[in-house]
Amino acid sequence: MMQINRLHAQAILLALGMLFLGSQGVAQVVGRYSGEFMAAGAGARSQGLGGAAAASSGEPWSLFFNPAGLASVDRAQLGLMHSERFAGVVDYDAVAFSMPHEANQTLTVGMLRLGVNGIPFTTLEYPDQPMGDANRIEVDKYVNDGEYAFYLAKAGRWDNAAGWINDLGLSWGVAPKLIFKHIGSYRHYGLGLDAGLMKHWEGAPLFAVGFAVRDLLGTLIKSEKTGRTEVIVSTFRLGGSVMLPLPVLEADFTILADGAYRTESIGEKEAFEYHAGAEYLVRKILALRAGSDNGELTFGGGLAFKLVSIDYAFIGHDDLGDTHRISLTARWGRF
């Protein structure tokens, strides 16, 4: 019961904070793409699997998909990721650190950063006159865009709660987050909360189901200069995975699939997204992966050793160019 009370307390604090931000006298509008930089998650393994990670666990990268997966982290882990998206135009980086805290609980801190450099700001050659052949648009300056999300998460298992909850064998996770954006001198700040649940069924094959909500209470983004407030509304994600051991081949075969619903696009075909992928893991060392990220094919692979694993993923796009993602995960302590 103590765990449930703590979850309630964190949610209430987040709600009060967002009510304070939203009470500053400016009408709120839905920010259609304000939270897009957080939608891709982090970690090269998930990208190679088409972005299917709602039922994936045991790594710090779960922070960005379903924080309930962090409950399976059994020793300290540090993850670092770099991605060059759309032919190198966009840099996308992440860091996450997870550490077992109390019995069956894990603490995690993390950060996402998306950056675009050299964005031109334009002006008229003679700003006080109408645009025309003698007064053309010219570049006034080049600025950089940066979007950041800072997370502090807690995850655990319900094993000493009320009877019927305890019997479900669920893992839970909550991840409050702070948002900071800037483009040139324009700055924006926000506050939000992600949360999730996960269930594992032991045995062979090994099944798991995960449910996560990004921006559970609505994430507010407020402009420092104008006071304009945008709301990033919730995205719901439900996923499953099945891992089938292949003892004869000394390998494991895993299939994962997620469906996501973006409430910002209710009634539109873009509201629903699907992610699916498969992984062939040989001797728990060499992994080969392929998937579909909402229709775009993805490929990847990885090498896993006792203390470190390295993963790579690739996704091509005919119009926007290729995206490459590489991540490293280091582990130490008990296991």
DSSP state of 59: S
Q: Please, which residues have CB within 8 angstroms of residue 16's CB and are 6 or more apart in sequence?
A: none
Q: What is the pLDDT of residue 34?
A: 77
2-332 belongs to CATH 3.40.47.10? no
What is the rounded distance in angstroms from the CA atom of residue 181 to the CA atom of residue 122?
A: 21
107 close to 89: Cβ distance less than 8 angstroms: no
Q: What pLDDT is stored for residue 57 in this prediction? A: 92
**Tokens standing for 317?**
């796009």
CB atoms within 10 A of CB 166: 13
Query: Quick one: pLDDT at residue 12?
Result: 41
Long-range contacts of 252-255 (CB under 8 A, 24+ apart): 252/279, 252/280, 252/281, 252/284, 253/278, 253/279, 253/280, 253/281, 254/278, 254/279, 254/281
Contacts 24+ apart (CB under 8 A), 135-140: none
Q: What distance in Å separates the CA atoms of residue 194 and residue 185, rounded to the nearest whole number?
A: 29
Instruction: Tell me phi and psi for residue 232, to 5 degrees.
Output: -90, 110
Count Cα atoms within 13 angstroms, Cβ side, for 65. 34
The residues spanned by each domain of the chain are 2-332
Amino acid at 228: R
Interatomic CA distance for residues 274 and 90, integer angstroms: 23
The pLDDT assigned to 24 comes to: 40
Average pLDDT along the chain, 335 residues, taken 10 residues at a time: 43 42 50 79 94 94 96 94 79 94 88 81 75 75 81 87 66 95 84 94 87 92 82 94 94 96 85 96 97 93 95 83 91 78
Cα(131)–Cα(2) distance, integer angstroms: 65
What does the pLDDT read at residue 25? 42
Q: Is the peptide bond before 127 cis (omega within 30 degrees of 0)?
A: no
How high is the pLDDT of residue 71? 93
